[in-house]
Amino acid sequence: MPFSNRLDWAARPNRLTELLEARRAQGARLLDLTESNPTRAGLDYDKQAILAPLAGESSLLYRPHPAGLESARRAIAAYYAARGHEVDPGQIILTAGTSEAYGFLFKLLADPGDEVLVPRPSYPLFDYLARLEGVAVRQYRLVYDHGWWLDLESVRAALGERTRAIVAVSPNNPTGHFLKADEQQALVTLCAERGLALITDEVFFDYPLGSPRGRAPSAVTVGGALSFTLNGLSKAAGLPQMKLGWIVVSGPRELLEAAMARLELIADTYLTVGTPAQEAAGAWLEWAERFQRRLRTRLEGNLAHLNSALSGTPAGVLECEGGWYAILQLPRTRSDEEWALELLRGDGVLAQPGYFYDLDQEACLVVSLLVEPEVLREGICLLLARL
Ligand SMILES: Cc1ncc(COP(=O)(O)O)c(C=O)c1O
């Protein structure tokens, strides 16, 4: 058959997915502790604030700019200004979501067969995003010891002849680890020494939980190495359906300018971002401040519930500094997959086994903190009854 080998097309669904599909087909009740789609989590969206900006007459006009409309890039610069960072709209490229931003960056930085370093544990999409560009991923480690830490030695060990970039996710999905100022500085130094690019995914940056100590400033402040900071409305405004993300390029001037010119050529080839979303970006980013406050209350409430419900039981919650997820450590009497299957089969409670994220800790389950509080409470109650 005339198909590429970029992905393992024949991969079978895992046992949890099969069981889930069977239960759905039977119409069985499900307590879904994995819901991470904000538009389906019972959150309050202000219809007027979201829909009205789409109705402007300017959306009837097509006048594409490779980097994206100036008005949208100015709104993104204002988002950073409100956080104390100076970003020029000329440093920004719009994309149809952060996943596409990774695609653009891998095309910009790597030839087929080159490598990028990504954290372990992490978000499972990296492998697909890289393979689709013909790029290989190598993993460096985040280690857990009273909180998550970047293992700098493992970053050095993963570097090879063909490494082009180091990816950091801050805060990380699902560990909630915020890059610390010294960890960020070490990565910048390494990238500058080896002529690599630093890619920092900050999609969950506006969702710290508690007061994380020593966290690094946004990577838009990085000047010592070529740096790409990713973010978007998907998480920052809870609007994944609008498909609007961005890349902020920073670093030494000559590199920054060369990167922008090349990125504009890549973006111009596709011109993926719809005009209505670009026209509405400014209004949505203003509204996002209110959305974020409400969502942080939900995330913090759910995390507090997990901590209090699991305290004094054989299970626990790994320390989490930010983002939309929490990791539950269950007794090691079963594997993570066995726990997840048993919970789904016995109680209709869905949680993700840690191996989905390459978690090295045994018997961990990942739950979303976005879940409606009543659903989380009932699901955790059933889980505790099983311990
Ligand atoms: C760490 C991280 N980066 C990027 C994305 C994708 O975001 P987008 O919807 O902007 O493509 C996700 C989605 O869950 C994510 O967890």
Please give the distance, rounded to the nearest whole angstrom, from the Cα atom of residue 205 to the centre of ligand 1: 12
Q: Same domain, yes or no, for 73 and 134?
A: yes
Say if residue 361 is in the same domain as residue 251: no
The residues facing 248 across adjacent strands are 92, 229
Task: Strand 364-368: give its sheet, edge to edge.
Answer: 316-317, 325-329, 364-368, 352-353
230 and 119 within one domain: yes
Q: Is residue 346 part of a domain?
A: yes
Supply 310's token pair.
């699991």
Residues spanned by the domain of 37: 15-44+288-386
Q: Does 201 share its domain with 281?
A: yes
**11 — pLDDT class (breaks 50, 70, 90):** confident
pLDDT computed for residue 16 by the predictor: 97
Q: 54 lies in a domain?
A: no
Indicate whether 118 and 245 sit together in one domain. yes
SS3 350: strand
Looking at the structure, do residues 315 and 233 belong to the same domain, yes or no?
A: no
Residue where a domain terminates, one of 267, 285, 303:
285
Sequential DSSP letters for 266-303: HHHHH--S-HHHHHHHHHHHHHHHHHHHHHHHHHHHHH
Residue 349 placed within a domain = yes
Position 160 pLDDT exceeds 90: yes
User: Which of 203, 206, 369 maximizes ligand 1 atoms within 8 Å of its Cβ, making it the mutation to test the pocket?
Assistant: 203
pLDDT in tens, 76-96: 999 999 999 999 999 999 999
Atom of ligand 1 nearest to the CA of 172: 1
Instruction: Identify the domain boundary among 236, 255, 285.
Output: 285
Looking at 285, 308, 332, which one is the last position of a domain? 285
Distance CA 358, CA 197 (A): 24
Same domain, 218 and 143: yes
Q: Both 156 and 170 in a single domain?
A: yes
Q: Whats the size of the chain, residue-wise?
A: 387
> What per-residue confidence (pLDDT) applies to 271?
97
- 237 and 99 together in one domain: yes
Q: Mutate which of 37, 99, 169, 170 to test ligand 1's pocket (most atoms within 8 Å of Cβ)?
A: 99
pLDDT band per the 50, 70, 90 thresholds, residue 212: confident
Would you say residue 197 lies in a domain?
A: yes
Structural domain contains residue 361: yes
Answer yes or no: is 8 within a domain.
Answer: no
Mean pLDDT of 35-50: 96
Across residues 280-293, what is the average pLDDT?
98
Pocket test for ligand 1, best of 37, 98, 175, 241 (most atoms within 8 A of CB): 98
6 is a domain residue: no
Residues 298 and 381 placed together within one structural domain of the fold: yes
Is this structure's pTM higher than 0.85? yes
38: domain CATH number is 3.90.1150.10
Distances (CA, A) of 284 to 66, 79, 95, 238, 265: 22, 11, 16, 10, 27
pLDDT > 90? residue 319: yes
Residues 197 and 245 in one domain: yes
Ligand 1 binding pocket, CB closer than 6 Å: 97-99, 123, 169, 173, 201, 203, 232, 234, 240, 245
What average pLDDT does range 282-309 have in this prediction?
Answer: 98
Tell me: do 74 and 185 sit in the same domain.
yes
Q: Count how many domains the chain has.
A: 2
pLDDT computed for residue 216 by the predictor = 98
pLDDT, average across residues 94-99:
98
Domain with 209 in it: what CATH number?
A: 3.40.640.10
Q: For residue 102, how far is its CA from the centre of ligand 1 (angstroms)?
A: 10
Nearest Cα to Cα of residue 54 among 379, 275, 384:
275
Helix ranges restricted to H, 43-198: 47-51, 70-81, 98-109, 125-131, 152-158, 181-194
- pLDDT of 299 reads 98
Amino acid at 172: N
The answer to whether residue 79 is domain-embedded is yes
